[in-house]
């Protein structure tokens, strides 16, 4: 069962996970900034204490209220988004979210009921 957690209490695990995620698919945010945003409440850290792993989510208000799953990390590559999907959906409905969103380069989410809504192209200058 997921529970909200204080980032400083679990920082070593979170840092390990964020570092592992960054090695597999680099992201545009500094790890320290993610920690700061969790501390100030913009992002939420969710953990399941018996397992080593976490999800980082954000409640967004635009264009409509929705839950953005920022990151998910589990030991040995376990997909925590899939494992906790019913719980995450219930949490999103409880706060009045109209939908959930994941931004990922992984194609596997389409096999689990997610649809592609937008593709972002980027050109380095």
32-85 pLDDT, tens digit per residue, is: 999 999 999 999 999 987 778 999 999 999 988 999 999 899 888 777 888 898
Handedness of CA 43, 16, 83, 106 (dihedral sign): positive
Q: Which residues of 44-61 are buried (b: 16+ CB within 10 A; e: fewer)?
A: bbbbbeeebbbbbbebee
104-123 pLDDT, tens digit per residue, is: 767 777 777 788 877 666 55
Tokens 């204490």 belong to: 49
Count Cβ atoms below 10 Å from residue 71 Cβ, excluding itself.
23
| Class of the CATH domain delimited by 3-112 | alpha beta
Residues whose CB is less than 8 angstroms from the CB of residue 60 and which lie 6 or more positions away in sequence, other chains included: 66, 67, 68, 101
Prediction pTM value: 0.84
The pLDDT assigned to 119 comes to: 67
Do the beta carbons of residue 78 and residue 71 sit within 8 Å? no
| All structural domains of the chain with their residue ranges | 3-112
**Residue 7 pLDDT > 90:** yes
Strand runs labelled E in the chain? 3-4, 44-47, 54-60, 66-73, 99-102
Q: How far is CA 100 from the centre of its chain?
A: 11
**Residue 22 pLDDT > 70:** yes
């Amino acid at each position: 069962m997921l529970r909200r957690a204080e980032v400083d209490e679990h920082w070593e695990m979170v840092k390990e996970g964020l570092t592992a995620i960054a090695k597999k698919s680099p992201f545009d945010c500094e790890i320290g900034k993610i920690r700061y945003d969790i501390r100030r409440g913009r992002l939420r850290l969710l953990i399941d204490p018996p397992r080593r792993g976490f999800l980082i989510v954000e409640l967004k208000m635009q264009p409509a209220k929705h839950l953005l799953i920022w990151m998910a990390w589990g030991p040995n590559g376990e997909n925590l988004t899939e494992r906790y999907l019913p719980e995450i959906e219930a949490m999103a409905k409880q706060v009045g979210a109209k939908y959930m969103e994941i931004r990922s380069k992984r194609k596997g989410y389409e096999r689990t009921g997610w649809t592609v809504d937008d593709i972002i192209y980027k050109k380095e200058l």
